[in-house]
Amino acid sequence: MSDAPIGDPSPVGNPSPVGDPSPVGDPVSQPQAPSPAPASNGDRRALMEVRHLQVLFPVKSGLIIDRTVAHVHAVDDVSFTLTEGETLGVVGESGCGKTTLIRTLVRLIDATGGQIRFRDRDITRASRRAMQPIRRDVQMVFQDPQASLNPRKRISQILATPLKLRGVPNDQVETESRRLLERVGMRAEHLSRFPHEFSGGQRQRIGIARALAVNPKLILLDEPVSALDVSIQAQVINLLDELQDDLGLSYVFVAHDLSVVRHVSDRIAVMYLGKMMELSPSEELYTKPIHPYTSALLAAIPIPDPKENRERTRTKVVGEVPSPIDPPVGCRFAGRCPRATDICREVEPQLTEYAGGHAAACHHPQNVTAQEIAAATRSPLSPLHSGEQMPTHTA
């Protein structure tokens, strides 16, 4: 078994299913109706509620008759609520289901089970037509701006399509395009150029301008700065921050390591092998990680603050991420976790809510006292098949 260090962004044993890559409509273990859960985080209104979301991709075999022989558990019973104006960071190693999760939120992929509500409307199985206005409210920005911008179109054409979709009259499209480009720190004369004439950072700004063209409420950002130099990353993140303040946007910001999302996120969700492991207010995740997997992710990034560096518990893990085709029962991290015991290999841990809106799915949490565990409760966002056992305190 080769050791795959945590934080390594290389893909994990990705299966290549033969045939139709679309997810299955008939799940292996379909979650039941979503359970009630707090609708909002603090006083703000819920914008999107995700309950027990599951996406399974069929793995097919057979030359003549396509048979489904297994399923890739890409997203497996994930729940959260995103509030208006909030940025939720979603972090985890490559292959843990981040892209599948956000593509499913905007219905580019159909959910196998669970529910997605946008502004109180169930959109999980909404028709194409019913999704049209929601597709304007929820936009995506992709990791690779080069691939997501049509190389044969000028920037003016790239921006004109969404502007017209928003109902901007033809004679105002150019003025509006200039305004948009300037809004993202580009110049009006860039309108006549093609995507290849720009740097990676500029292309990502254009991708953001295109998303903004339809006046969205929510932008799903799939590793929007991973392909950029570190200095450019900060500029793009600052731009996203400003836009959020000015326009009241909400973001789901996906990244494969914890260094990028710290300052942009209000809360951070940590994913591992299709499951949500921890959900925490941003700063607290860095100073008091409860889940051993989060500690392992943190150990993989440099910490500028020496005090925080000294105080943080570091978890070193080895081993490979298991296959998402046949994920382990119990805790999916058990095979790599230094704190694992028998119960971890047998019972899926519930998502437990600690003080301050901090939740983690672990039988033997770190950085919490016996008193904090005694005061904790089972989260209504817990996976449907998780156990009822409360975590036990381990020093």
Ligand X SMILES: Nc1ncnc2c1ncn2[C@@H]1O[C@H](COP(=O)(O)OP(=O)(O)O)[C@@H](O)[C@H]1O
Query: Of 2-10, 246-254, 338-346, 371-379, which segment contacts ligand SF4 by CB under 6 A?
Result: 338-346
Q: How far is the CB of 8 from ligand X (least distance, A)?
A: 12
Q: What one-character DSSP code corresponds to residue 295? A: H
236 versus 285: smaller Cβ distance to ligand SF4: 285
Name which of residues 266 to 325 contact ligand X (CB under 6 A).
Answer: 324
Residue from 6, 48, 74, 155 that binds ligand X (CB under 6 A)? 74
Q: Tell me the C-alpha distance between 224 and 145, whole Å.
A: 8
Question: What amino acid is encoded at 283 in this protein?
Answer: E
Residue from 105, 264, 362, 368 that binds ligand SF4 (CB under 6 A)? 362
Name which of residues 93 to 112 contact ligand X (CB under 6 A).
Answer: 94-100
Query: Of 87-95, 116-124, 281-289, 310-318, which segment contacts ligand X by CB under 6 A?
Result: 87-95
- Strands of 121-122's sheet in order across: 67-83, 46-61, 113-118, 121-122
Question: What amino acid is encoded at 144 in this protein?
Answer: D
Closest C-alpha among 225, 219, 271, 270 to residue 248? 219
What share of residues in the chain are helix, strand, coil (percent, to 5)? 30, 20, 45
Name which of residues 35 to 64 contact ligand X (CB under 6 A).
Answer: 57
Q: Tell me the C-alpha distance between 307 and 309, whole Å.
A: 5
Buried/exposed code over 189-228 (b: 16+ C-beta within 10 A; e: otherwise)? ebbeeebeebebbbbbbbbbbbbbbbebbbbbbbbbbebb
Residues that bind Mg ion (CB under 5 A): 99
Q: Does 334 bind ligand SF4 (CB under 6 A)?
A: yes
Residue from 153, 164, 193, 364 that binds ligand SF4 (CB under 6 A)? 364
> Quick one: tokens of 289?
């990680």
96 binds, options ligand SF4, ligand X, Mg ion, none, Cβ within 5 to 8 A by partner type:
ligand X
324 versus 383: smaller Cβ distance to ligand X: 324
> Quick one: tokens of 275?
């499951």
Q: How far is the CB of 266 from ligand SF4 (least distance, A)?
A: 24
Q: How far is the CB of 98 from ligand X (least distance, A)?
A: 4
Binding site for ligand X (CB under 6 A): 14-15, 17, 21, 57, 72, 74, 92, 94-100, 324
